[in-house]
Structure 1
């Protein structure tokens, strides 16, 4: 199992495989933990090109975990 640098949100091989397989929007809402994992897996995707990352990003905004920088381009 791999994880981010802090080890807080472990990524299983199944989650990595599933997330890498699709960039489409999820069928339902992400939990905050799932959103963190999706952001890790889709870190190289642009927000305006990957619906899955965009959904995860919006989940983190709604949860107060992320404050977007309006001066930056979506990534």
Structure 2
């Protein structure tokens, strides 16, 4: 899982979650508020990035609720079809 490294922990952004099949309602129900807000390194004037700890994301992805309600996974540009 690609993501961000801050304060010695690995995080995934809301955009990264969408690529993994997360929907807005699922994020709200299973993860709740983000673990960290951070400046977007590509656009400092953009709203803060919502970051979620990888450990929490992976645990939530094993739950039956996520497995039955997730959206189809979107492949990244570097992944083969």
Structure of larger gyration radius:
2
TM-score calculated relative to the size of structure 2: 0.28
TM-score (ref. length: structure 1): 0.29
Which structure dedicates a bigger proportion of its chain to helix?
Answer: 1
Structure (1 or 2) with the greater strand fraction: 2
